[in-house]
Structures are given as C-alpha cells and as structure tokens.
C-alpha cells in the first residue's frame, strides 16, 4: 500500500522560509539592543555604586551634600528622557537619538576618571618644584561636568531604547512585548550585578582612577553593540513632536469644551474632555488622535500615585549606602565593597523575572493573570516593608555600637567607626526593594507602553521615567526638610552618622510610603484602563467611524 505524500505549495514554503528568516532578524536585532542596554547600565551603575564615597573621600563633600549629588544626578538622568523623547519624535528618530546620546554619554565617562586621577604619579614635580596636579575646585568642576554629560546622554537613551526594542518585536503581539520588557529589565540587572560586585570592589579597594575607567570602556562596547545591528533594525522616523501635538489638543479641547458641551446637550449627546479638539466638532484634529491623547493622559494619576516609590528606591544609593559604611564590611578579615549589598537587590530581580515570566504565562492560560495595577500595588507594599526593615536594622546597629564600641575600618583610604554588626544584615531590605522592582518598575514600563497609541508610546514612556527623576528630587527635598527641622538633634549628622537618628528618617519614609500606597489604591479604583488589544480595537473602530463620516461629507 502506497503512502500518500502531501506536497506543499511552493508559495507556502517560500512564505514559511521568509517568516523564519524574519523572526531570526527580529531576534538578532533585539539581542543587539539588549547587549547595548546591559553595557550602558553597567556603565551607569559603576558610576553610581560608590558615588557617595567618592564625593565624601576624594572631593571632600559632607554626608548631606554627597546624598544630594547622588539624588540630583539620578533625578536629572530621569528628567532628561522628556527631552530625548522630544528630539526622537520631532527631529532624529529613535536610533539616531540613542546613537547621539551615547556619544555625549561617552564624553562624560571620559571626563569622570579625569576628576579622580592622581596626576602627581604621572607628572611628578616640575624643575621649579611645583606639584603638577588638579586642585580640589578643578576636580569638582570636572566631576560636575562629567555627571552633567552622563545625565544628558543616559536620558536620551532611556527615553528611546525600551520602546525601540519593543518596536522590533511589536509585530509578534502584546504577549511577546511583555516578555521583552521582562528580559529587558533582566539584562539591566546583569549590568548592575557586574557593577556592584566587581567594579565597586576595584573602586573601593584599588583606586577610583581604574574604577572609573571601566565604565568608559563598557560604554564604548555599548556603542559597538548598538551600531552592529544598524542595518537590521526596524526604524521609525520623526513624525512631529507628540508632546507639542498633545499640548495643542489639550489646549483646544479645554478652550472649546463649553461650546461643544452645550451643543451636545441640546442634541442629547455625551461629551468627553477633549471633544472640542475633534474635527467633527469643529476642531483641528481627527478623533483617533484626540482619543489617543486622552487614553495616554489617563495614566498620569497612576504615575503620580507611585511617585513616592522612587523616593524609597533612591535610598539604596544614598541613606542605605551611608548606613552600610558604618557596619562591618569584612568577611574573615577581607573587606567587601559597601555597594556589594546592591548585588542582593540585583540577584533577587534576576531570579524573580524568569520565574514570574513562567508564572504569568501559566496564569494567562487559565485566565487568572493579575492586572498590571495589581502587580504595581504589591510592589509598593514590598517597598514600605524594605524601609521599615532598614529602620529596625539601624536601631540594632546603634544599640550594638554603643554597648560594645566600634571597629575602625578603612573605606577608600578614610577611616570609619563601624558597628560589629555585619553589613549583610542589610540583605532583607535590599532583597525586598529588589522584589518590588520586579512588580512595580518592570510592570510600570509595560503599563506605560500598553496604554498609549503607537505615536505616543515614546512620550508616555518618557513621562514614566520623568516620575523617577521627580522621585529623586522629592527625596532630596525630604532630606533637606528633615535637616532643617532637626538641627538641634540631627537625624542625618553630616560629621558622624553614628551620632544621628537615621532610623527616624527610615520610619518617616515608611509612613509616607504607606500613605502613597493608599493613594494608589484610590486612583486604581476610580480609573478604568483598557488592555493594549482593546485600546487598538477602540482606536481602529473610531478611525473607521471617522473615515465613514468623511465619506458622507464628501458625498454631500
């Protein structure tokens, strides 16, 4: 008996081969972007890992000023994405903006080691006996200039690299986009892991000269990774500033709202806030564009509600770090970098993301996947617990120090009087805040991307990153207010942190985070959001209705 052989049509085979090749190109383009992001984050976290220590020991700033520098630098790095998003949308496109920002970033990483180098080792003395070295003021100028360029560069990259990566894989559907954001965050934290475990050790125990040269080299490699995929990327080109267009729609909508509302009321119709900007109501914009802006604006209350989350997150590189400098950093006599505790924040992220990626896919199959807002809310709870644990650790640290005396340890050539309690007592607070990032920060990126139409994704992602910067500035303001109100008995003593009350500051932040959580619950309850698929269907339906209306007008 002969077996029947199914002959596939030639067109079908060619189509399948083309699809496989297309998927391989998509995968390759995503890998280039992920490697670039890994190296860029390695650069960034290598710079921030011991920034407080460098500012205190090498540049002679006090505790408060050192904390301000870290938070203002971090804040500017997250405010600049708004500018980067504007340039991308209206002038150069995503790829060119990322590339240009990377070059600026590279200049900053070149200047940073210049502020750390001991030039006496290189040049010695002149024939007249003069010391060839930078004075403190010159070093500070190089330092501030370097951080400014790095903030501009990283801001331009941040606004565009995540949506640029998602753009490569967008054709494969929203589930693949969600997986991309999970793995995008995973690669970010691989870079952070290397920075906190290796580069921080070089900076603290060898020198900042070499320790700040490494970020320059990693940023150079990031640029190579980006450019290597240039010819296979799916590019988008500038189509005008989404920010300016959105501003015009909002202005025209408010200006004409009363007129349109009265007209609709006489006809027995309902109106939304920006209906006055629609062409069908005498405005200047089509209904799809107006509804896209309205949908994007709906996420702003959520972003505002989680603003204080970023205040707590910024403590890892400021007050958590300062707490670590006065705890025992040695293991069997071998000193560990203070920034090593960030490794536990990173490790928990690297472990949780793949696990949750599997869990979410399983929950999707059985129809019980938690909503983005539920995931974000759970992350806020973990954040409040983290800062509460930090306060408890501080109580026991100070109690032990006063009962048994301290141990003198040297950090970057400066002595610190530390408690005998190991720095690894900070693991729970770092692990909790790392877990919160998986739920709040990762999901926040996904939520921002899903709630905006294609033309506004860059803008909404930029606004989401802006809240991170505002959170850092708010953190600076909170510490400044605390300093001003506690001058007689300072909570954050600039000369000796052991004589302050850091635990009071941690418990204050815990209380404020709790209030922010209940604000988030309130906002989540009253706001209604569509999934990305439903949003696309809604906008497509309105586009069809608008086209039909135009055809009727043409016929008349």
Contact 197, 340 (CB under 8 A): yes
Task: Give the H or E element holding residue 414.
Answer: strand 414-418
290's tokens: 């107006």
Instruction: For 416-470, write each residue's pLDDT tens digit.
Output: 788 888 888 999 998 898 889 888 887 887 787 777 776 677 677 778 878 888 8
Q: What is the pLDDT of residue 40?
A: 94
Contact 155, 81 (CB under 8 A): yes
The whole-number average pLDDT for the span 136-158 is: 90
Q: What is the pLDDT of residue 395?
A: 92
Max mean pLDDT range (90-99, 130-139, 343-352): 90-99
177's tokens: 């986009």
Taking the C-alpha atoms of residue 333 and residue 82, their distance in angstroms, rounded to an integer, is: 47
Burial class (CB in 10 A: 0-12, 13-18, 19+), 72: middle
> Which carries the bigger pLDDT value, residue 544 or residue 76?
76
Taking the C-alpha atoms of residue 114 and residue 211, their distance in angstroms, rounded to an integer, is: 12
Taking the C-alpha atoms of residue 441 and residue 383, their distance in angstroms, rounded to an integer, is: 11
Convert 140-178 into a string of H (helix), E (strand) and C (coil): HHHHHHHHHHHHHHHHHHHHHHHHHHHHHHHHHCHHHHH
Contact 457, 532 (CB under 8 A): no
pLDDT for 548 beyond 60: no
Q: What is the pLDDT of residue 147?
A: 93
> Which carries the bigger pLDDT value, residue 71 or residue 37?
37
The whole-number average pLDDT for the span 330-351 is: 79
Cα–Cα separations (whole angstroms), residue 378 to 140, 440, 499? 41, 8, 35
Q: What is the pLDDT of residue 390?
A: 93
Contact 181, 166 (CB under 8 A): yes
Q: What is the pLDDT of residue 258?
A: 74
Q: What is the pLDDT of residue 1?
A: 46
β-partners of residue 285 are 278
The answer as to CATH 3.90.45.10 being correct for domain 308-532 is no
Q: Which of 86, 75, 109, 348 is nearest to 220 (CA)?
A: 109
Confirm whether pTM is higher than 0.85: no
Q: What is the pLDDT of residue 554?
A: 42
354's tokens: 């793949």
Instruction: For 308-325, write each residue's pLDDT tens digit.
Output: 899 898 888 778 888 888
Q: What is the pLDDT of residue 179?
A: 80
Q: What is the pLDDT of residue 264?
A: 67
Instruction: For 484-508, write each residue's pLDDT tens digit.
Output: 888 888 887 666 778 878 899 999 9
Which residues have a Cβ under 8 Å from the Cβ of 396 and sit 6 or more positions away? 421, 425
Q: What is the pLDDT of residue 114?
A: 85
Same fold, 19-240 and 308-532: yes
Q: What is the pLDDT of residue 5?
A: 44
Cα–Cα separations (whole angstroms), residue 147 to 155, 214, 250? 12, 16, 35
284's tokens: 């200047």
331's tokens: 């293991």
Boundaries of every domain in the chain: 19-240, 252-284, 308-532
12's tokens: 């079908």
The whole-number average pLDDT for the span 182-203 is: 85
Taking the C-alpha atoms of residue 119 and residue 362, their distance in angstroms, rounded to an integer, is: 59
Q: Of how many residues is the chain composed?
A: 556
Q: Which of 395, 382, 397 is nearest to 428 (CA)?
A: 382
- Helix 10-48 to helix 174-194 angle (10° resolution) is 30
Percent of the chain with pLDDT over 90: 17
Instruction: For 214-233, write each residue's pLDDT tens digit.
Output: 999 999 999 999 999 888 88
The whole-number average pLDDT for the span 163-167 is: 85
Q: What is the pLDDT of residue 250?
A: 82
Homologous superfamily in CATH for domain 19-240: MFS general substrate transporter like domains (1.20.1250.20)
CA 153 to chain centre: 14
The whole-number average pLDDT for the span 471-487 is: 85
Give the pLDDT band of residue 538 (cuts 50, 70, 90): low
Task: Please give the mean pLDDT across all residues of the chain.
Answer: 80
Taking the C-alpha atoms of residue 164 and residue 386, their distance in angstroms, rounded to an integer, is: 33
Rg of the chain, C-alpha, whole Å: 27
Give the pLDDT band of residue 17 (cuts 50, 70, 90): very low
The whole-number average pLDDT for the span 175-184 is: 80
Taking the C-alpha atoms of residue 192 and residue 221, their distance in angstroms, rounded to an integer, is: 16
Taking the C-alpha atoms of residue 399 and residue 438, their distance in angstroms, rounded to an integer, is: 34
> Which carries the bigger pLDDT value, residue 271 or residue 176?
176
pLDDT for 174 beyond 90: no
Contact 44, 218 (CB under 8 A): no
259's tokens: 């007129």
Taking the C-alpha atoms of residue 212 and residue 73, their distance in angstroms, rounded to an integer, is: 16
DSSP 234: -
72's tokens: 């203002």
Taking the C-alpha atoms of residue 330 and residue 508, their distance in angstroms, rounded to an integer, is: 30
DSSP 409: E
């Amino acid at each position: 008996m002969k077996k029947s052989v199914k002959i596939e049509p030639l067109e079908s085979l060619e189509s399948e081969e083309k699809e496989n090749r297309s998927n391989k190109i998509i995968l390759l383009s995503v890998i280039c972007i992920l490697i670039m992001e890994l190296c860029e984050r390695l650069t960034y976290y290598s710079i921030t890992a011991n920034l407080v220590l460098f500012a205190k020991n090498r540049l002679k700033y006090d505790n408060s000023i050192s904390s301000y520098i870290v938070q203002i630098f971090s804040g500017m790095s997250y405010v600049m994405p708004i500018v980067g998003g504007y340039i991308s949308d209206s002038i150069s496109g995503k790829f060119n903006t990322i590339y240009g920002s990377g070059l600026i970033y590279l200049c900053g990483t070149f200047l940073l080691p210049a502020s750390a180098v001991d030039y006496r080792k290189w040049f010695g003395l002149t024939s007249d006996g003069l010391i060839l070295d930078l004075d403190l003021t010159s070093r500070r100028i190089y330092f501030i200039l370097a951080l400014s360029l790095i903030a501009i560069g990283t801001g331009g990259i941040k606004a565009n690299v995540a949506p640029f990566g998602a753009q490569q894989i967008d054709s494969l559907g929203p589930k693949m986009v969600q997986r991309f954001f999970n793995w995008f965050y995973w690669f970010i934290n691989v870079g952070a892991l290397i920075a906190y475990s290796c580069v921080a050790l070089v900076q603290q125990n060898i020198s900042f000269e070499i320790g700040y040269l490494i970020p320059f080299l990693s940023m150079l490699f990031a640029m190579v990774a980006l450019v290597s995929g240039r010819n296979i990327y799916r590019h988008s080109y500038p189509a005008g500033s989404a920010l300016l267009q959105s501003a015009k729609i909002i202005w025209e909508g408010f200006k004409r709202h009363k007129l349109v509302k009265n007209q609709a009321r006489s006809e027995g119709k309902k109106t939304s806030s920006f209906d006055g900007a629609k062409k069908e109501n005498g405005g200047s914009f089509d209904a799809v564009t107006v509804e896209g802006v309205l949908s994007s604006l709906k996420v702003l209350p959520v972003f505002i509600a989680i603003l204080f989350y970023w205040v707590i997150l910024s403590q890892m590189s400021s007050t958590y770090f300062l707490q670590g400098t006065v705890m025992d950093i040695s293991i069997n006599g071998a000193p560990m970098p203070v920034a090593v505790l960030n490794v536990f924040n990173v490790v928990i992220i690297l472990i949780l993301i793949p696990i949750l990626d599997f869990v979410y896919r399983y929950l999707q199959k059985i129809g019980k996947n938690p909503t983005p807002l539920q995931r974000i809310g759970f992350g806020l709870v973990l954040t409040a617990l983290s800062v509460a644990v930090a306060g408890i650790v501080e109580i026991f640290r100070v109690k032990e120090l006063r009962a048994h005396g301290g141990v003198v340890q040297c950090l970057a050539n400066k002595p610190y009087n530390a408690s005998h309690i190991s720095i690894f007592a900070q693991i729970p607070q770092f692990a909790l805040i790392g877990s919160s990032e998986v739920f709040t920060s990762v999901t926040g990126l996904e939520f921002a991307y899903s709630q905006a139409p294609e033309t506004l994704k860059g803008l909404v992602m930029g606004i989401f990153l802006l809240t991170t910067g505002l959170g850092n500035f708010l953190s600076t303001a909170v510490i400044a207010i605390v300093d001003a109100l506690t001058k007689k008995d300072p909570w954050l003593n600039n000369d000796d942190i052991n004589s302050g009350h850091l635990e009071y500051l941690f418990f204050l932040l815990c209380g404020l985070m709790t209030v922010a959580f209940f604000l988030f619950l309130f906002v989540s309850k009253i706001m209604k959001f569509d999934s990305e698929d439903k949003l696309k269907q809604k906008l497509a339906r309105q586009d069809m209705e608008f086209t039909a209306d135009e055809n009727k007008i043409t016929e008349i």
